[in-house]
Amino acid sequence: DNQTKLSQQQERALVSYINKLSQRGIPPTSKLTRNLAENIAKTTVGKNWLSRFIKRHHTELDSLYLTSFELSRKRADNYQHLSLYFDLVSQPIFVVSSLILI
């Protein structure tokens, strides 16, 4: 694929690094992954590069941020959802002190 900014070896190294970060509990975000790729390639990558990279390596990637988790978070992060959330948590909580479940 002559549109690829990284060689196959460079992409394998990037996948390995992403997986190491994920295993250590610090999975890289999309922005960090893009920055890593640009550092390796010594040039900028296109706006669709990351999605194509993920499609090429989806079976090898361990990072939740680069898969559905980030997409779900992005979809949930909107004004209406946040407004509803804060409306709900700001309402008084009624505690029934006589009810004890054993």
58-100 tens-digit pLDDT: 889 887 666 555 555 556 666 776 777 777 777 776 655 555 5
pLDDT given at position 3? 63
Q: Where are the domains of the chain?
A: 8-90
Least confident of 11-15, 49-53, 61-65: 61-65
Cα distances from 73 to residues 67, 70, 88, in angstroms, run 11, 5, 19
Placement of tokens 């090898």 in the chain = 60
- What's residue 1's pLDDT? 44
Which of 64, 38, 39 shows the shortest CA–CA distance to 50? 38
47 or 85: which leads in pLDDT: 47
CA 16, CA 6: separation in Å to the nearest integer? Answer: 14
Beta carbons of 27 and 64 less than 8 angstroms apart:
yes
What local confidence, expressed as pLDDT, does residue 53 receive?
A: 92
Average pLDDT, the chain: 79
